[in-house]
Copies of this chain bind each other. A is one copy, B any other.
Amino acid sequence: MKSLHRPDLYCWSTFDESRNVDFHGWAWIRPDGNVLIDPLPLTPHDAEHLRELGGVRWIVITNSDHTRAARELAASFGASLAGPAAERESFPFPCDRWLAEGDELVPGLRALSLDGSKTPGELALMIEDTTLVTGDLIRAHRGGSLMLLPDAKLGDKPRAVASVRKLVAENPAIDAVLVGDGWPVFRNGHQRLAELATSLPPLEVRS
């Protein structure tokens, strides 16, 4: 696994030929049990690396399109699964916990629930108020700039835009934005999110 901006965070990646971007899975290494987010399949090398770092206690899935290798890794590492509360009734498999806005899975890991993406209540995860891990809604196909999921895949663009603006307003300490799809941002993350919010169209007024 690759080191990120903090010594307790790692990722591993696969290149997606249909979008020409890397997909990433994330690992937060903690004394009380490691947490994976949207894990991709692990190579034998990375699985061994993860075992050396203490295995896995929790696996969080941000949305039902990012299940990836979550079930297989939960079985092989004896980990519990957490998914988005808004998808509880239709999720492809049962989870041990269902996360909604503000829920804290473990100390320092807080769930945000984003509206208007391709699935309801897509999760983003905030690690100690400074590192944001996103699923599908916020991404970076171009290096150094954040973008929204393309319009054709958005469930409700005005609600998606409102979610991004709320996230920017409520989380000023964000330094890193680790996007599931594309180039991670390691510094000045709040500024990049604010640039994204500014680039989005004004909210429609519904009468």
Q: Contacts A2-B20, A20-B3, A142-B3; is A186 near B183 (CB within 8 Å)?
A: yes
The answer to whether A5 and B186 touch across the interface, beta carbons within 8 angstroms, is no
The answer to whether A188 and B186 touch across the interface, beta carbons within 8 angstroms, is no
Interface residue? A155 (CB, 8 A): no
Identical chains in the assembly: 2
Q: How far is the CA of A13 from the CA of B21 in the complex (A)?
A: 11
Interface residue? A141 (CB, 8 A): yes
Interface residue? A144 (CB, 8 A): yes
Cβ distance A23 to chain B, nearest Cβ, rounded Å: 11
Chain A interface mostly: loop
Central interface residue in A12, A15, A144, by most chain B CB within 10 Å: A144
In chain A between 79 and 128, which residues have their CB closer than 8 angstroms to a CB of chain B? none
Interface residue? A68 (CB, 8 A): no
Task: Report A's interface with B, CB cutoff 8 A.
Answer: 1-5, 12-13, 15, 17, 20-22, 43, 45, 49, 141-145, 176, 183-184, 186-188
Q: What would 20 A/B residue contacts be, using CB atoms closer than 8 Å?
A: A1-B20, A2-B20, A2-B21, A3-B20, A3-B21, A4-B142, A4-B143, A5-B143, A5-B144, A5-B145, A13-B15, A13-B22, A20-B49, A143-B176, A143-B184, A145-B186, A183-B184, A183-B186, A187-B188, A188-B188
